[in-house]
Amino acid sequence: MVKLTVELVRQAAQYTKALQDPELDLQGYKIPVIEIGEGLDQALPCLSELILTNNSLVELGDLDPLASLRSLTYLSILRNPVTNKKHYRLYVIYKVPQVRVLDFQKVKLKECQEAEKMFKGKRGAQLAKDIARRSKTFNPGAGLPTDKKKGGPCPGVVEAMENAIANASTLAEVERLKGLLQSGQIPGRECRSGPTNNGEEEMEEDTVTNGS
C-alpha cells in the first residue's frame, strides 16, 4: 500500500508542458491515501496539473488535502474507486475550488453553483462530514512499487497518439488528445493478441485525430 508523500513525488515522472506549466504524473501507483505533509504546498507552489489516474483512492475525505495546492487547476482521479461515491464530482469541486478541469472535463459554472448550494451552511457542512470519511488502514513498511500496472495502449497506439498530438493545430485538440492518452481511453484503438504478417500486433485502424 503506497501513500502520496514527498518521497513519492520526487520519484514520479515530472514534465514541463508546452506552455511551461509543470505536470506531475502519478498514474498506476495504486495510491490508496493522499498524505500531504506540512510544507508540500510550499515545495510545489507552481504545480498546476496532477494526474492520479488508475490508483486506489477510496474515500472522499482522502482528497481534502489537495485543497492546499493553490495552483492546482487540472486534476484527474479517473479509475479510482472514489469516483463511484455519491456526490464525488461536486464534492471535489467544492473542496478544491481552484481546479478548472476535473477528470478531463471542464468544471462548469453550474457545477460550482450546485456544489456551493449542496455543501454550504450547517446542513451542507454536516453532509460533507458524513460522506467524507478517510482511509484508516496503512502498512508503514510498504515500499514503492517498482513497476506500474501492466496494460493500457500498446506502443503502436501510443506512437500514433503522440504523432497526432504533434500535428494538432489547436491547443484544445492537443489537450484533448493528451487527456485520452493519459487516461488510456482511446476509442477504436485496441491491440490484438495475434501476430500480423509483419510479426507485430495489429491495431484497429481508426483515426485518432479530429475527435473520432
Confidence at 153, pLDDT banded by 50, 70, 90: low
* Nearest-angstrom CA–CA distance, 159 and 133: 41
Q: Is the per-residue pLDDT at 145 higher than 50?
A: no
Work out the mean pLDDT of the chain and round it to a whole number: 74
Confidence at 56, pLDDT banded by 50, 70, 90: confident
pLDDT on residue 85: 92
pTM for this one?
Answer: 0.55
Cell of 17: 508542458
Examine the domain organization and report whether 164 and 122 are in the same domain: no
pLDDT per residue as tens digits for the range 158-207 = 677 777 777 777 777 777 777 777 666 555 554 544 444 444 444 444 44
Examine the domain organization and report whether 17 and 122 are in the same domain: yes
Examine the domain organization and report whether 102 and 11 are in the same domain: yes
**Domain that includes residue 85, residue range:** 3-131
By DSSP bridging, strand 74-76 and strand 101-102 are: parallel
Domain count, the chain: 2
pLDDT on residue 150: 45
Examine the domain organization and report whether 96 and 31 are in the same domain: yes
- Helices 88-95, 121-131: axis angle to 10 degrees equals 120
The residue among 131, 165, 188 that closes a domain is 131
User: Is 126 part of a structural domain of the chain?
Assistant: yes
User: Is 138 part of a structural domain of the chain?
Assistant: no
> Exposure string (b/e) for 42-81, b if CB count within 10 Å is 16 or more?
eebeebbbbbbbbbbbbbbbbbbbbbebeebbbbbbbbbe
